[in-house]
Chain A
Amino acid sequence: MDRFISHKVKNLAPSGIRQFFDLVLKTKDVVSLGVGEPDFAAPWRIREKAIYSLEQGYTSYTSNKGLLRLRLEIAHFLKKHYRLIYDPGEEILVTTGVSEGLDLAIRTILNPQERVILVYPCYVAYPAVVELSAGRVVPLYTSFEESFKINPEKLKELIKRYKPKAIILNYPTNPTGVSYSKEELKELWRVLSKEDLLVISDEIYDLITYNFKHTPFSTFKGAKGKTIYLGGFSKNYAMTGFRIGFACGRRELIEQMSKIHSFVMLCAPIISQLSAIEALNSQKDVESMVKEYRRRRDFIVGELNNLGFKTLLPQGTFYCFSSIKNTGLSSLEFASLLLKKVKVAVVPGEAFGLLYRDFIRVSFASPFPDLKEAILRIRKFKEQYLKN
């Protein structure tokens, strides 16, 4: 069979991680800090809307770009929340998750061999999507010492050297929990505004922030025209299974993205679109979830630091990225041993970039008792199985 598989596909994703994931999924009684989605079910009013839509017989296709009502609601939300103006007619496309929006954006802009800057550690889909378009990844590495934030000078240099077509930004960031203040973003825009490249900004965690209000990249003067803004429902509203998101950008870009979308996806599921309308009117539910995440964040980060795993306080998302450097183990070794000895699952840092073997991603999207149990087990693990 092997000969039927394309090289491009065969070479996707590091295999060690996949085996580790399979092992976790097979292990019983795992306390998991490895989950990349909320532990909450979608708020009841959203689920109720989905049920009602089915009862009413909403089971058809919609227009390719998505229900106009939903696009209007998205435009309204962005305006009210961020003072961002997008035309629901031509500048907004409803996608089957941010995953699809990302794929469309890259496929729309990239010719083979063209380059895209990715900020590492980064979400696993980015390099894969670039590679599937035969593009080339230009890694911009961020370090613990830099608080995992982009150094504008490094960015400038990379652009000069590689002339990339685009950069993918993601903040609040999976896997580090880092986000950027308005001032920090302004610095980045100062660099990017002078260059001829497109920004794809994945802001799927925009409502899950703790320290300051989120600033969409396209709010800066002149940035809207050079940015594809990707927004989601999966994380903010705990709607991962609904598979819905949206992309905003210039008419010309959205039109071309819609073209691909109309051939390969037709439209996002109508039930999810109707539910998303309800979601945009469920901000109270979001607030209470974020409040809960914040409590857990404070707990878990405190405990990890106490245990000697240096961890920065996340400014958004439900992840933190902890250093395991002093254990002398690679992240995959550490995660495998942790699973084997005390049945706690974490994601090895190297899943997000090979340079991050000294880190693990810890998700606090789990109920408090689970977090507490996980910490007890990690303490035991440290005492029994780790040197120093």
Chain B
Amino acid sequence: MEDVLKILEGNARISFEDLAKLTGEKEPELRKMVNKLEKKGVIVKYKAVINKELLPGERSVLALIEVKVSPQKDVGFDAIAERIYKFPEVKSCYLLSGTYDLLLVVEGKSIHTIADFVAEKLAPLEAVKGTVTHFMLKKYKEDGVILRKKKEIKRLTITY
């Protein structure tokens, strides 16, 4: 099972036929296994890692936002986190130890859209004590993938 997950993590679009060849398991068994993993929520979804910098035209902007919040009685950070992560602008939301509490990854059309989101949606929340916004300048590596055009093969094509 670990094997299957590892392969899918590297290539979510692999066919069951190839998966069977790579793992030595039978196809129907693999279908069943993957189905189960999906149902259990181990496999959350299948997505493409896209290097948007290579796209022509308009690019979106990403920001990491540190948020200091005051925890609430009985529910701790969960309730305020939920209020925040439900905004569609928020792509990821993590609770961290250290000098601030929540780390958000927010996507917007431009710096201004993100600034507006912080000023109008995030900062006014009562539990939010403060925010620090970092705009992302460049992505080097994401989800274990180095975002660079493939280099040419350096090996000789035939050797003993």
Contacts and interface: CB of A to CB of B under 8 A. Distances in A.
Nearest to B24: A298
A35 B157 contact: yes
A345 B156 CA distance: 11
A1 interface: no
Contacts of A21: 158
A347 B157 contact: no
Interface string A114-136: 00000000011100000000000
Nearest to A335: B158
Interface of B: 18, 21-24, 155-160
B157 A124 contact: no
Given A37-B159, A125-B160, 17 more contacts: A21-B158, A25-B157, A25-B158, A27-B157, A30-B157, A34-B158, A34-B159, A35-B158, A123-B160, A295-B22, A298-B21, A298-B22, A299-B21, A299-B22, A345-B157, A347-B160, A351-B160
Contacts of B23: 295
Contacts of B24: 298
Contacts of B21: 298-299, 302-303
Interface string A340-368: 00000101000100000000000000001
Contacts, number: 44
16 contacts: A24-B157, A27-B157, A30-B157, A32-B158, A34-B159, A35-B155, A35-B156, A36-B159, A125-B160, A174-B160, A295-B22, A298-B22, A299-B22, A302-B21, A347-B158, A347-B160
A310 interface: no
B157 A372 contact: no
Interface string A2-45: 00000000000000000001001101001010111101000000
Nearest to A372: B18
Interface residues of A, number: 25
Interface of A: 21, 24-25, 27, 30, 32, 34-37, 39, 123-125, 174, 295, 298-299, 302-303, 345, 347, 351, 368, 372
User: Which of B18, B155, B156 lies at the interface centre, i.e. has the most chain A CB atoms within 10 A of its CB?
Assistant: B155
Residue from A36, A125, A345 with most neighbouring chain B CB atoms (10 Å): A36
